[in-house]
């Protein structure tokens, strides 16, 4: 096969030994099966920003920490150097997310290296050793749909416990190996605590899963795992083995705004009275003045 331009430098430098075949091409990157150091793995070649759908959208970059303030200034100025730094940050975000999630027990491919806009990582395979199919390519039974949905919600829980939201989770970004679903494609992963859009993006990810699996198991269409999950996360009670119900109900109790304002006013007046008493006790002339007035 013709060697892709993005892989030529890695071949030249000896980082990969052979390009075996193309694997898949998506909106963000093209993936190839390669041999590196005698091991079969895959190489993800990122597309240039003007060919990508995300284009490192600001809502995904919010809350990310760059290498230093100099890099942040370069990106903000959108100079040629700044665009290069932004591309590097986009690539590194996926590598960082993969390492972070793997350490948290999330089923993701093992990353090996990221060089020159190419990510080398584990090749996920099916039970026969062939490249694993995407979830979107499978025809599921109702029982399989429920099972895979349950497993992926558990993965989303573990991701959130690790402080990350996928940002583009769907049937197209999940592989199915011999043991079940594996989550892929994470350059747009966001920091749950540092991104103001995290709640909405998480709910969209979870809704995407419900929408897909709902074709096979319709009862999943009415679940509300996203809202429930975020509520538990915000309460500080989320942990890796949290079991969710898929049900969530907003509080129907109306806030007693007038009562709260009355309490605030009472507290303010009491503070003023207490402040006056404290002043009189601290300043002897205050008592003299009071006696003279009497």
**Residues 59-117: pLDDT tens digits?**
555 555 555 555 445 444 555 544 555 666 666 888 999 999 999 999 999 999 888 88
Phi, psi of 145 (to 5 degrees): -60, -45
The CATH number for 121's domain is: 1.10.510.10
Coil/strand/helix, residue 62: coil
Q: How far apart are alpha carbons 90 and 184 in whole angstroms? A: 15
Statement: residue 280 has pLDDT above 60: no
Report the pLDDT value the prediction gives residue 254, as an integer from 0 to 100: 52
Q: Could you read off the pLDDT of 249-273 as tens digits, one per residue? A: 875 545 455 655 665 666 666 666 6
Report the pLDDT value the prediction gives residue 229, as an integer from 0 to 100: 97
Residue 266 covered by a domain:
no
Q: How far apart are alpha carbons 271 and 245 in whole angstroms? A: 46
Residue 147 covered by a domain:
yes
Query: Pairing between strand 39-46 and 29-36?
Result: antiparallel
Q: Are 21 and 93 in contact (CB under 8 A)?
A: no
Q: Using 50, 70 and 90 to split pLDDT, how confident is the model at 28?
A: confident
The mean per-residue pLDDT over the stretch 51-63 comes to 52
Q: Using 50, 70 and 90 to split pLDDT, how confident is the model at 291?
A: very low
Report the pLDDT value the prediction gives residue 275, as an integer from 0 to 100: 60
Q: In what order do the strands lie in the sheet with 111-115?
A: 18-25, 29-36, 39-46, 118-121, 111-115
Residue 243 covered by a domain:
no
Name the token pair of 150: 């349950």
Q: Could you read off the pLDDT of 218-246 as tens digits, one per residue? A: 999 999 999 999 999 999 999 999 999 99
Q: How far apart are alpha carbons 183 and 174 in whole angstroms? A: 5
Q: Using 50, 70 and 90 to split pLDDT, how confident is the model at 277?
A: low
Report the pLDDT value the prediction gives residue 63, as an integer from 0 to 100: 54
Residue 251 covered by a domain:
no
Q: Which domain holds residue 21?
A: 13-234
Catalytic residues, by residue number, are 168, 185
Distance of CA 198 to the CA centre of its chain: 8
Statement: residue 279 has pLDDT above 70: no
Report the pLDDT value the prediction gives residue 26, as an integer from 0 to 100: 79
Count of structural domains within the chain: 1
Statement: residue 120 has pLDDT above 80: yes
Q: Could you read off the pLDDT of 160-182 as tens digits, one per residue? A: 999 999 999 999 999 999 999 99
Determine the Cα angle at 50 with ends 19 and 88, to 5°: 65
Statement: residue 282 has pLDDT above 50: no
Q: Are 111 and 149 in contact (CB under 8 A)?
A: no
Coil/strand/helix, residue 247: coil
Name the token pair of 292: 């003279």
Residue 285 covered by a domain:
no
Residue 3 covered by a domain:
no
Q: How far apart are alpha carbons 224 and 236 in whole angstroms? A: 19
* % of the chain beyond a pLDDT of 70: 70
Q: At what angle do helices 142-161 and 225-234 cross, to 10 degrees?
A: 20
Higher pLDDT, 197 or 82: 197
Q: How far apart are alpha carbons 284 and 185 in whole angstroms? A: 73
Determine the Cα angle at 277 with ends 276 and 283, to 5°: 90
Query: Pairing between strand 111-115 and 118-121?
Result: antiparallel
Report the pLDDT value the prediction gives residue 82, as an integer from 0 to 100: 44
DSSP collapsed to 3 states, 220-240: HHHCCHHHHHHHHHHCCCCCC
Tell me the average pLDDT of the chain: 82
Residue 68 covered by a domain:
yes
Residue 255 covered by a domain:
no
């Amino acid at each position: 096969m013709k060697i892709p331009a993005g892989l030529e430098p890695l071949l030249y430098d000896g980082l990969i030994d052979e390009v075996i075949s193309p694997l898949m091409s998506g909106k963000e990157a093209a993936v190839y099966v390669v041999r590196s150091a005698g091991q079969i793995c895959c190489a993800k070649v990122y597309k240039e920003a003007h060919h990508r759908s995300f284009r490192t959208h600001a809502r995904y970059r919010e809350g990310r920490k760059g290498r230093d303030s100099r890099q942040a200034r370069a990106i903000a100025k959108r100079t040629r150097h700044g665009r290069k730094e932004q591309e590097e940050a986009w690539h590194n975000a996926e590598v960082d997310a993969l390492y972070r999630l793997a350490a948290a027990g999330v089923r993701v491919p093992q990353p090996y290296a990221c060089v020159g806009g190419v990510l080398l990582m584990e090749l996920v395979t099916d039970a026969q050793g062939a490249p694993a199919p995407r979830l979107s390519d499978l025809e599921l039974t109702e029982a399989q749909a429920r099972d895979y949905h349950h497993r992926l919600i558990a993965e989303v829980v573990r991701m959130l416990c690790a402080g990350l939201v996928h940002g583009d989770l769907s049937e197209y970004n999940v592989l199915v190996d011999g043991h079940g679903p594996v989550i892929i494609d994470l350059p747009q992963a966001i920091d749950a605590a540092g991104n103001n859009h995290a709640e909405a993006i998480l709910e969209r990810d979870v809704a995407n899963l419900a929408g897909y699996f709902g074709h096979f198991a319709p009862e999943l269409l009415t679940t509300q795992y996203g809202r429930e999950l975020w509520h538990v996360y915000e309460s500080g009670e989320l942990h890796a083995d949290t079991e969710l119900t898929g049900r969530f109900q907003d509080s129907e109790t109306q806030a007693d705004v007038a009562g709260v304002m009355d309490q605030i006013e009472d507290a303010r007046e009491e503070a003023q009275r207490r402040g006056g008493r404290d002043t009189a006790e601290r300043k002897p002339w205050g008592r003299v003045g009071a006696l003279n007035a009497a």
